Amino acid sequence: MSQETRVLFNADCPICNTEICHYRAYTEARGLDVAYDDLNGNALSEWQIDADEAAKRLHVTQNGEVYMGVAAFAALWSTMPRYRWLAKFARLPGLWQLANVIYDRVLAPWLYRKHLKRAVAAANSQGASNP
Mean pLDDT in each 10-residue stretch from start to end of the chain (131 residues)?
82 94 98 95 89 94 95 98 97 97 96 93 77 56
Helices (H), the chain: 14-29, 44-47, 51-55, 70-78, 84-90, 95-102, 108-129
Give me the pLDDT at residue 42, please.
87
For residue 10, give its domain range.
5-129
> Whole-prediction pTM value?
0.89
Please tell me the total count of domains within the chain.
1
Give me the pLDDT at residue 3, please.
57
